[in-house]
Amino acid sequence: MARGWESKSVEEQQAEAKSQKAAPKAPLTSEQAAAQRHKQGLILSRQRILQQLEKAQNPHHREMLNSALADLDAQLARLA
């Protein structure tokens, strides 16, 4: 019986997940973990600002959101 593309994709994903679990990751120091959490928080904030910017109609609100977005982008650039 012929198998479709979907089942092959699932098998590939499962194999990839198993190989990733097999490769041990180096434990992060508390500073590295804190920096990683901070960066993820900035990325999530940026996504939220972008969503709000799509819906905002008031020019002053849009200006404030654009300013916040620029600030988040600057912070992320400093972390990179």
Structure tokens, 65: 């959101």
* pLDDT tens, position by position, 24-49: 678 889 999 999 999 999 999 999 99
**Percentage, residues of the chain above pLDDT 90:** 62
Q: Are 42 and 79 in contact (CB under 8 A)?
A: yes
Q: In whole angstroms, what is the distance from residue 22 CA to residue 31 CA?
A: 25
- Give residue 45's identity as a one-letter amino acid code: S
Q: Is 49 exposed, middle or buried (0-12, 13-18, 19+ CB in 10 A)?
A: buried
* Pick from 28, 30, 27, 10: nearest CA to 18: 10
Average pLDDT over residues 11-30: 76
Question: Is it the case that residue 53 has pLDDT exceeding 70?
Answer: yes
Q: Long-range contact list for 28-31, CB < 8 A, 24+ apart?
A: none
